[in-house]
């Protein structure tokens, strides 16, 4: 499985050797992909406690019935003739009790880990009664997607202007709020470059993430609220920001400038077609493997396939049939003065 993840990086290095520019502007996005497990095979912590009590009562009743049957058989046939096997009904319930106990321990361990990560004492950490555990793929999570709740994983991609995936990851987090800085690190590890500009939607917006990326010097354009399709923000307010303005206020002002809005508008044309090609054109909507580590390798293979296909199309045809190498050098390795002015101007207007 580790070899598959290494294959993704090898293809990125091949793209560089073929003349691909270094990582500059990248757009981030996440998507929910179904796990190889049904959400109906999941059980909440509160439901586990109820089911455990119910199964214990059923086991107790079955044992009482078995003892009564044994006594009747002993009276009829003698004590020296009996069966040693456990009745099938009792066996099933004992097996379910064992799996529920294991699931409860897993949820309790997860609650302790989350408490420790938040700096809270893990001794008093208890799972939320609604915390879910899936018996088919315990490492998958219940997540809200565009079509309702799914049992799945949250996949992440960072895409450059050539629509090459320069960073990819899988997370068990149900949203993208904590994924901005981890994806910057992932891009550096997988592509060997730090992006100069990052575009991300409102799912990545949080005070912590915006503060962290501001300290890196990366030119970030992160939407601070969800926008309806076709919605246009009003003109940027005149005058300086108040001293009490938060980091979210500053980023929001940056995106409301004309140049900032133009830069951010490029996001949907960079990253969204890539996820569309993977999910709709190639039909990848569900993982085949189970377990977090195996799912990471499978997603890496999917992203590698996308990059190979993209490289082939760019190298063979390219715009106007001229081939990708000449086109990439002409259009991307020498950014236009207008593009540079847009970035500098947006930063100036946001101050």
Shared domain check, 158 and 12: yes
Is the CB of residue 228 less than 8 Å from the CB of residue 206? no
State the pLDDT confidence band at 70, using cuts at 50, 70 and 90. Answer: low
Does residue 139 belong to any structural domain of this protein? Answer: no
pLDDT at 233: 66
Please indicate, yes or no, whether residues 169 and 29 belong to a single structural domain of this protein: yes
Are 267 and 319 part of one and the same domain?
Answer: yes
Residues 188 and 319 in one domain: yes
What is the count of structural domains for the chain? 2
Q: Between these two residues, 52 and 103, which has the higher pLDDT value?
A: 103
pLDDT tens-place string over residues 122-134: 766 777 777 778 8
- Do 12 and 57 belong to one domain? no
Q: pTM, whole model, 2 decimals?
A: 0.74
d(CA 295, CA 293): 5
**Segments forming the whole domain that contains residue 219:** 2-37+148-350
Using the predicted structure, report yes or no on whether residue 1 has a pLDDT greater than 80: no
pLDDT exceeds 80 at position 346: no
Last residue within a domain, chosen from 78, 107, 134: 134
Q: How do residues 296-330 score in pLDDT, each as one tens digit?
A: 999 999 999 999 999 888 877 654 445 555 555 55
Residues 157 and 287 in one domain: yes
Question: Are 155 and 51 members of one domain?
Answer: no
User: Among 134, 158, 193, which residue terminates a domain?
Assistant: 134
Q: What is the pLDDT of residues 124-174, one digit of tens each?
A: 677 777 777 888 898 899 988 877 888 999 999 999 999 999 999 999 998
Each residue of 56-94: b (16+ CB within 10 Å) or e?
eebbeebeeeeeeeeeeeeeeeeeeeeeeeeeeebeebe
Cα–Cα distance measured from residue 38 to residue 152, given in angstroms and rounded to the nearest whole number: 9
């Amino acid at each position: 499985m580790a070899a598959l993840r290494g294959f993704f990086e090898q293809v990125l290095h091949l793209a560089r050797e073929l003349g691909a520019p270094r990582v500059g502007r990248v757009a981030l996005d996440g998507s929910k992909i179904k796990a190889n497990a049904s959400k109906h095979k999941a059980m909440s912590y509160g439901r586990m406690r109820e089911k455990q009590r119910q199964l214990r009562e059923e086991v107790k009743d079955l044992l009482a019935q078995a003892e009564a049957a044994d006594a009747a058989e002993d009276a009829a046939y003698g004590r020296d003739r009996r069966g040693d096997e456990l009745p099938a009904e009792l066996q099933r319930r004992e097996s379910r009790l064992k799996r529920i106990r294991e699931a409860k321990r897993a949820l309790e361990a997860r609650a302790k880990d989350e408490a420790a990560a938040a700096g809270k004492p893990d001794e008093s950490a208890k799972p939320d009664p609604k915390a879910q555990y899936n018996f088919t793929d315990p490492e998958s999570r219940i997540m809200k997607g565009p079509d309702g709740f799914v049992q799945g994983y949250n996949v992440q991609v960072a895409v450059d202007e050539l629509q090459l995936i320069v960073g990819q990851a899988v997370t068990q987090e149900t949203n993208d709020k904590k994924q901005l800085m981890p994806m910057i690190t992932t891009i550096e590890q997988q592509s060997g470059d730090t992006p100069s500009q990052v575009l991300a939607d409102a799912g990545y917006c949080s005070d912590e993430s915006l503060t962290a990326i501001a300290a890196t010097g990366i030119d970030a354009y992160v939407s601070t609220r969800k926008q309806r399709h076709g919605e246009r923000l009003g003109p940027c307010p005149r005058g300086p920001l108040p001293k009490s303005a938060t980091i979210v206020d500053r980023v929001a002002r940056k995106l409301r400038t004309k140049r900032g809005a133009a830069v951010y508008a490029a996001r949907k044309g960079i990253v969204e077609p890539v996820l569309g090609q993977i999910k709709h054109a190639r039909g990848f909507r569900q993982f085949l493997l189970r377990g977090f580590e195996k799912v990471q390798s499978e997603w890496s293979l999917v992203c590698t396939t996308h990059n190979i296909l993209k490289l082939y199309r760019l190298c063979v045809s390219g715009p106007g049939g001229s081939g990708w190498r000449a086109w990439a050098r002409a259009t991307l390795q020498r950014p236009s003065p207008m593009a540079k002015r847009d970035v500098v101007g947006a930063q100036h207007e946001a101050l």
